[in-house]
């Protein structure tokens, strides 16, 4: 026969301070655990969803990032003439020859500058990224010294708001619009006309070529032809893969650091739970004896104490998650080591993270409560009844 659940819950309530402290320790661990997962998810969402699977990025072979890449005009022309490229409504190829450079801009409210991506796009550049919408002002006019800023750039950098002037490459550039890219990596970029930017930066080569496939399954034939062409020194990648690779180092770093910390911290919290449960068992020795004498089996005693410990973990997990959910309001910006550019991303909570965090909290409770519960279940009835 099972002992009612209310017995377990009331035991936790009876020692409020101890329950609160133990659950508090676990809550902090779950908070760190959930925050790291949310950060990883936010980074994944930002960078992986930047690329769409039917777009292809062509860069110079083994350059890794667009900034380091260079594709000259002759090679770009060869890429442009491939048959796999989709045609737009105006019967022009859906392809954008882009130039990507970094400039140093001062951050708002801090005197530390950061590297910002300036992307010169071709006529189809915006059409290739359907998630990009102009939210303020208008798109730049091709052939003019006008630029549009991503929403995280406009928020965080000096002189990047609508109507402001930015000076770089010996020219003044007017911000005529602010675009929102639905929390993808483009939000941390400034866009302008590719030819104007190349002229000003005195770069005779494009950085990358973005193109849309007319049929997703024809990627392999395009890749084989481009990379086998002796006139070209390029490599082609699906845009989604390209951006996932950009975030690999940062995502791994956050992942490893977070995992290590969670494991170390959980040792502390598990020990806390163990101490509490041992004390709980020791204080109730006579009670356990009484329960056994009443006819409850040792398995029921084991269940009761395990349930108490699991409940403790659950309470801690719920508190930790509650506070972690507020982290969604924060946006973090840091330099992505691979692209060397500033990247803004936010903490993202999803059901999988909630489930993982609660499972982690219950696991800590289980580990912390197992040994004390075993001790309680193994108690001899007579000895325990004799306990003071």
Partner 1 sequence: MYFAKLILRNALRHKLRTGLTVLGIFVAILAFGLLRTVIEAWYAGAESASSTRLITRNSISLVFPLPITYQEKIRQLEGVSRVTHANWFGGVYVSEKNFFPQFAVDISSYFDLYPEYLIPPEQMKALVLDRKGCVVGRKLAETYGLSIGDVVPLRGTIYPGNWEFVVRAIYDGKEAKTDTSQFFFRWDYLNETLKKTVPRRANTVGVLVVGVRDADQVARVAAEIDRTFANSLAETLTETEKAFQLGFVAMTEAIVVAIRIVSFLVIFIIMAVMANTMAMTARERMPEYATMKALGFGPFSVVILIFGESLAIAMGGAGLGMLATPPVAHWFAAKIGTLFPVFDVSRETFAMQAAAAIVVGAIAALLPGYRAARVRIVDGLRNIG
In the complex with partner 1, the residue whose CB is nearer, 29 or 291, is: 29
Q: Which C-beta is closer to partner 1: that of 48 or that of 364?
A: 364
Residue 213 or 236: the one with the smaller Cβ distance to partner 1 is 236
Tell me the closest approach of the beta carbon of residue 67 to partner 1, in angstroms: 6
**Which residues are CB-neighbours of 281 under 8 A, at least 6 positions away?**
288, 305, 372, 373, 375, 376
Q: The tokens of 60 are what?
A: 């110079």
Q: How far is the CB of 137 from partner 1 (least distance, A)?
A: 25
Least separation in angstroms between CB 296 and partner 1 = 23
- Smallest distance, Å, CB 154 to partner 1? 19
Residue 50, C-beta contacts closer than 8 angstroms, at least 6 positions apart: 181, 184, 185, 186, 239, 243
Give the residue with the Cβ less far from partner 1, 6 or 62: 62
Residue 196 has phi, psi (to 5 degrees) of -60, -45
Cβ distance to partner 1 smaller for residue 86 or 366:
366
Cβ–Cβ under 8 Å, residues 9 and 296: no
Q: Which of 194, 154, 156, 200 is nearest to 177 (CA)?
A: 154
Residues in contact with partner 1 by the rule CB under 8 A: 17-18, 21-22, 24-25, 28-29, 31-32, 60-65, 67-68, 101-104, 110, 112-115, 168-170, 201-202, 204, 233, 253, 257, 261, 264-265, 267-269, 271-272, 274-276, 278-279, 283, 332-335, 337, 340, 342
Residue with Cβ nearer partner 1 (215 or 248): 248
What would the two tokens of residue 330 be? 């924060």
Query: Least distance to partner 1 from the beta carbon of 372, Å?
Result: 10
DSSP state of 140: P
Task: At 338, list the tokens.
Answer: 């691979």
Angle at 135 between CA 133 and CA 140, to 5 degrees: 75
Whole-number Å distance between alpha carbons of 185 and 132: 11
- Closer residue to partner 1 in complex, CB, 102/381: 102
Helices (H), the chain: 5-14, 16-48, 73-80, 151-156, 194-201, 219-228, 239-246, 248-283, 285-293, 298-325, 351-377, 381-386
Q: Give the residue from 92, 59, 87, 56 showing the smallest Cα distance to 75.
A: 59
- For residue 238, the surrounding DSSP H or E stretch is strand 234-238
Smallest distance from partner 1 to CB 22, Å? 6
Q: Which residues contact residue 18 at a Cβ distance below 8 angstroms, ignoring those fewer than 6 apart? A: 276, 279
Nearest distance, CB of residue 109 and partner 1, angstroms: 13
The residue among 86 and 279 lying less far from partner 1, judged by its C-beta, is 279
- Minimum CB–partner distance for residue 340 and partner 1 (Å): 8
């Amino acid at each position: 026969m099972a002992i009612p659940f209310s017995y377990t819950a009331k035991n936790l309530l009876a020692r409020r301070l101890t329950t609160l402290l133990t659950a508090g320790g676990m809550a902090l661990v779950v908070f760190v655990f959930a925050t790291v997962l949310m950060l990883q998810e936010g980074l994944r969402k930002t960078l992986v969803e930047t690329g769409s699977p039917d777009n292809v990025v062509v860069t110079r072979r083994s350059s890794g990032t667009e900034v380091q890449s260079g594709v000259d005009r002759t090679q770009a022309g060869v890429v442009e003439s491939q048959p796999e490229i989709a045609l737009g409504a105006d019967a022009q190829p859906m392809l954008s020859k882009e130039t990507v450079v970094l400039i140093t801009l001062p951050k708002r409210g801090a005197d530390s500058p950061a590297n910002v991506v300036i992307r010169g796009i071709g006529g189809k550049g915006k059409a290739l990224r359907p998630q990009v919408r102009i939210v303020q002002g208008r798109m730049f006019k091709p052939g003019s010294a006008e630029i549009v800023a991503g929403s995280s750039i406009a928020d965080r950098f000096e002189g990047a708001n609508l109507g402001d002037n930015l000076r770089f490459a010996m020219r003044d550039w007017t911000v005529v619009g602010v675009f929102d890219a639905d929390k993808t990596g483009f939000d941390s970029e400034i866009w302008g006309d590719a030819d104007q930017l190349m002229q000003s930066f005195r770069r005779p080569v494009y950085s990358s070529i973005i193109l849309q496939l007319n049929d997703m399954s024809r990627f392999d034939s395009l890749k084989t032809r481009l990379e086998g062409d002796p006139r070209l020194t390029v490599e082609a990648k699906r845009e989604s893969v390209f951006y996932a690779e950009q975030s690999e180092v940062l995502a791994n770093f956050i992942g490893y650091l977070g995992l290590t910390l969670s494991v170390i911290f959980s040792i502390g919290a598990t020990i806390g739970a163990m101490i509490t449960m041992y004390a709980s068992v020791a204080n109730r020795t006579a009670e356990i004896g009484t329960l056994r004498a009443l006819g409850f089996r040792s398995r029921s005693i084991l269940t009761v104490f395990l349930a108490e410990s699991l409940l403790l973990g659950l309470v801690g997990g719920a508190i930790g998650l509650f506070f972690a959910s507020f982290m969604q309001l924060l946006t973090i910006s840091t330099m992505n080591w691979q692209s060397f550019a500033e990247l803004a991303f936010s903490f993202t909570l999803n059901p999988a993270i909630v489930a993982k965090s609660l499972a982690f909290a219950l696991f800590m409770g289980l580990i912390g409560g197992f040994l004390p519960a075993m001790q309680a279940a193994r108690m001899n009835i007579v000895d325990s009844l004799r306990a003071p």
